[in-house]
Structure 1
Amino acid sequence: MSVIRRRNRLVALTAVATVVLGVTACGSDDEPGTDAGGKPDKLVIETVGEFGYDELVKQYEKDTGIKIELRKTAQLNEYRPKIVRSLATGKGVADVVALEEGVLNEFKLNPTNWADLTPLVADHSKDYLPWKWELGKSADGRLIGLPTDVGSLAVCYRSDLFKAAGLPTNRDEVTALWPDWPSFIETGKKYRQQTGKGMLDSVTTAASAIAFQAGGDIFYDKDDNIIADKSPAVKQAWDTSLKMVDANITAKTATWSPEWSAGFKQGTFAATFCPSWMLGIVRDNSGPENKGKWDVAGVPGGLGNWGGSWLAVPERGKHKAEAAKLAEFLTSASSQVAAFKLKGPLPTNLEALKNPDFLAYTDPYFSDAPTGKIFGSSVEAIKPIHLGPKHQAVKEQAMEPALQSYENGEATASAAWDQFIKDAATQGAF
């Protein structure tokens, strides 16, 4: 380990100690009230993106008499600093906080910010995908998160736009178009030739899909050293993404940008790599007028993973026991099936994955695609991945901007790679 890396670890540990002292020294200035018996009047849930909890919290309110406030933040790069500030200052601390896999390991650096759920909930260690359950634990054995979803991967595509391009529209035939990544690129070239448009939304969605599909170490090794320039997963994602740009198959709409969000409705692109949790985003961005135009096909290579979260309870929370009960309810088998039906986050609860309603579910918005079967069939084949503490920062502030600079013709391939490696070292330091 280098001297620089040792110094980074020392700085990180010092910062962690400071936050711990801050948490110990004071409580939240923004706590929900309680009734005379000590039961909270209200509990607050903080999530990033769509978790499908809208109807579940209404049920919980009815069953318990506790009002639930559901706070949603659209993007992770806005969500993470909000959570950091609340933990550090005690202001606006939610009772239940979703920790997405891209930032989970960073928050594990200071596990004492989070309540140990072990004594607060029943033993659910056998109820979830084993690797998903283990990732919810900190290095000291503290259970800081109950598993929510996993981002089993597929391709969401516009069947009407495929038809206009002379391509098959049946989901099985579309899946057969691209058994591998070269075939996907060839399909994109045909779409461009027939329509003059890019088939895929952005090169960055492809890069993420390919890297996660490879599994194992991505930007960090097991000791959390940055290995972006040596990672086989990164190299595979980078090289394949450049081939997509060279073949001109993308619409060059940066993920999460206003142009990208509008592109779903406007037909700017015809396909995007779609983890199960993105079904709700596609639906919301496309609007009711495009119901039945979208469908779901298999991903090149047959499997993949992108995203997933856990529900944690901040140590600063005033009602940790009640918050843990709420988290337990939201991650139960029945709740995970209900959330999937509403917004698409794929269950990690083993009972939910075998639930007949889940397996038989078809999504009317996506042309009655059997999304339970499509996403559920590949979940057990998902390869566990190792994400370092600043994975999301490296992905969004280093790799994606570099790829976009090449996609937009602003940098050569070698210059884009050099910039990525340089920025990865900066963004990945902790």
Structure 2
Amino acid sequence: MRSNRWINVMVCVVVSAAATSCGAGGAANRTADGKTELTVATFNEFGYEDLFKEYEAAHPDIKITQRKTGQGAPHHQNLFTKLGAGSGLADVEAVEEGYLSQVMARSDQFNDLLEIGPKEVTPDRWLKWKADAATTKDNRLIGYGTDIGPLAMCYRKDLFAQAGLPSDPDDVKRLFATWDSYFAAGDQFVDEVPGVAWFDSAAQIFNAMHNQHDVGYFDKSDKLVVESNPDIRSDWTAVTTAVARGQSAKLTAFSNEWNTGFKLGRFATKTCPSWMLGVIETQAGPENTGKWAVTDAFPNGGGNWGGSYLTVPKQSKNAAKAAALAAWLTAPEQQIKAFQAKGTFPSQIDALESRALLEQVNTYFDNVKAGALFAAQVQKVKAAQHKGPADGQIQENVFAPALQSVEQGKRADDAWNTAIQEAKKAAK
């Protein structure tokens, strides 16, 4: 069966100048001037805007239309709704790691990229744990890995100095050695700088802590273990205690108020998976250039938070061409360009070893060699945390609102009990 499908794809490529496509949706989408239109659905910042223009220039028969959603949750809700409806999906759909398990459960609705994609693009191009997560039990590759999220810590140098804390990236490392030292420094900061919080959001701190553990919301057999996992409760207690001591700015991540918080300096530290650099630069704006710094120290070591994949749903009417575009976007050269544009850190091995990456300087963050910094952080990640069914919903729709309710005055124990009950509902 595999060889027959590969023949079909090759025939499709040969006749790509024709008016129809062998993609799963029938006739290809065409623009008024006869180009093949490829739609790409992403969320947050992937750093693809200039890459799309580059690809179109090299492929004059292709027109790329981007559907960009500001946050991950509505993007994935739309994805699963249209999967159920059987129509309406983009040719290339981005999937964040927290939602990947739901896609893998519906893998029959996505193309095997080993069959329809360029034959030279094989899983060994990626970090093993990155490719393994998108590979089915029968060895079908459902997604090309885009970025990963090795963790570092970002902070405002000027606000640290105002609080009497060290501000040089090497000197601040002792503050970020453990979560205990991090929260202790937060106590000193809020005492010295009234009106400015230590961190932006309880949920953002909790998510970073949670992603450091071997076992998260689900064990590897996909059993919900929220209530029985002591690490989750320990993280909850540490974060809600810091909230009670006034360390949180009580902002909802990716809200307008959170965006404005970067610009106005309403908090001093930010957990920084590599992709967060682009978010900070965009939201803090040019007037804050040089005020933000990033250090390779991270409480309790390191970890991975985030990272996505590009998939080609079987709904695509241009499956072979969509796979070719997805393969190009995730190639080492383009992964480096996306990192330079928005801080999305490469997941392909050749990119991680590239001089272009290791020598990359981020002028916004005080000319730090961000590529080398995050490449070192990757080495601290031995495996990605297993993400079970409803992992993304539990993170974004259960624990984030529960922690926000604590920031708004709800008792931490009551909010914990609510989160447990809502997690059980989400996992059904």
Provide TM-score, normalisation by structure 1. 0.89
CA distance in 2, matches of 1:30, 1:54: 27
Give 1:21's aligned residue.
none
CA distance in 2, matches of 1:290, 1:281: 13
The one-letter amino acid of 1:366's match is F
Farther off after superposition, 345-354 or 151-160: 151-160
Give 2:311's aligned residue.
312
Give 2:185's aligned residue.
187
Give 2:406's aligned residue.
406
1:51 corresponds to 2:46: yes
- Asked if structure 2 preserves the Cα contact closer than 8 Å seen for 1:106 and 1:390, the reply is yes
Residues 159-188 of structure 1 deviation map (CA, whole Å, 9 limit, x = unaligned): 122122222211111222221111101111
Mapping of residues 303-382 of structure 1, within 5 Å: 303-382=302-381
CA distance in 2, matches of 1:376, 1:30: 43
SS in 1 for 2:198: coil
1:421 corresponds to 2:420: yes
Residues 92-147 of structure 1 deviation map (CA, whole Å, 9 limit, x = unaligned): 32111111001110111111110011122224222110011111112332211011
Q: Per-residue deviation at 1:35? A: 9.5
SS in 1 for 2:212: helix
Q: Per-residue deviation at 1:311? A: 0.7
Q: Per-residue deviation at 1:221? A: 1.7
- Asked if structure 2 preserves the Cα contact closer than 8 Å seen for 1:224 and 1:389, the reply is yes
- Asked if structure 2 preserves the Cα contact closer than 8 Å seen for 1:149 and 1:345, the reply is yes
SS in 2 for 1:150: strand
**Residues 367 and 30 of structure 1: is their aligned pair in 2 closer, same or farther, counting only changes over 3 Å?**
farther
SS in 1 for 2:403: helix
Give 1:33's aligned residue.
30
Give 1:82's aligned residue.
78
Give 1:219's aligned residue.
217
The one-letter amino acid of 1:212's match is N
CA distance in 2, matches of 1:35, 1:139: 42
- Asked if structure 2 preserves the Cα contact closer than 8 Å seen for 1:46 and 1:97, the reply is yes
- Asked if structure 2 preserves the Cα contact closer than 8 Å seen for 1:363 and 1:371, the reply is yes
Mapping of residues 189-204 of structure 1, within 5 Å: 189-196=187-194, 197-204=196-203
SS in 2 for 1:223: coil
Residues 316-336 of structure 1 deviation map (CA, whole Å, 9 limit, x = unaligned): 111111111101101111111
SS in 1 for 2:123: coil
Q: Per-residue deviation at 1:271? A: 1.2
Number of aligned residue pairs: give it: 400
CA distance in 1, matches of 2:364, 2:89: 36
Q: Per-residue deviation at 1:30? A: 10
Give 1:96's aligned residue.
92
The one-letter amino acid of 1:57's match is F
- Asked if structure 2 preserves the Cα contact closer than 8 Å seen for 1:30 and 1:92, the reply is no
The one-letter amino acid of 1:377's match is A
Give 2:384's aligned residue.
384
Give 1:105's aligned residue.
101
Give 1:395's aligned residue.
395
Mapping of residues 233-248 of structure 1, within 5 Å: 233-248=231-246
The one-letter amino acid of 1:280's match is G
Give 1:134's aligned residue.
132
CA distance in 2, matches of 1:335, 1:220: 33
Residues 42-84 of structure 1 deviation map (CA, whole Å, 9 limit, x = unaligned): 2111111111111111111011111111221111111112112
CA RMSD of aligned residues (A): 2.0
Which of 162, 170, 173 is the aligned partner of 1:172? 170
Give 2:64's aligned residue.
68
Which of 135, 159, 162 is the aligned partner of 2:160? 162
1:261 corresponds to 2:259: yes
Farther off after superposition, 273-282 or 227-236: 227-236
The one-letter amino acid of 1:32's match is N
CA distance in 1, matches of 2:243, 2:352: 37
Q: Per-residue deviation at 1:90? A: 4.6
**Residues 64 and 416 of structure 1: is their aligned pair in 2 closer, same or farther, counting only changes over 3 Å?**
same
Provide TM-score, normalisation by structure 2. 0.89
Farther off after superposition, 67-76 or 313-322: 67-76
Residues 12-58 of structure 1 deviation map (CA, whole Å, 9 limit, x = unaligned): xxxxxxxxxxxxxx97699621799xx95221111111111111111
SS in 2 for 1:366: coil
The one-letter amino acid of 1:75's match is Q
Q: Per-residue deviation at 1:302? A: 2.6
Residues 370-395 of structure 1 deviation map (CA, whole Å, 9 limit, x = unaligned): 21122110113214211112011111
CA distance in 2, matches of 1:31, 1:168: 59
- Asked if structure 2 preserves the Cα contact closer than 8 Å seen for 1:117 and 1:144, the reply is yes
- Asked if structure 1 preserves the Cα contact closer than 8 Å seen for 2:24 and 2:319, the reply is no
Q: Percent same amino acid among aligned pairs?
A: 36
Alignment gaps of 5+ in structure 1: 1-25
- Asked if structure 2 preserves the Cα contact closer than 8 Å seen for 1:146 and 1:311, the reply is yes
1:124 corresponds to 2:122: yes
Q: Per-residue deviation at 1:225? A: 1.9
CA distance in 2, matches of 1:43, 1:105: 25
Q: Per-residue deviation at 1:270? A: 1.3
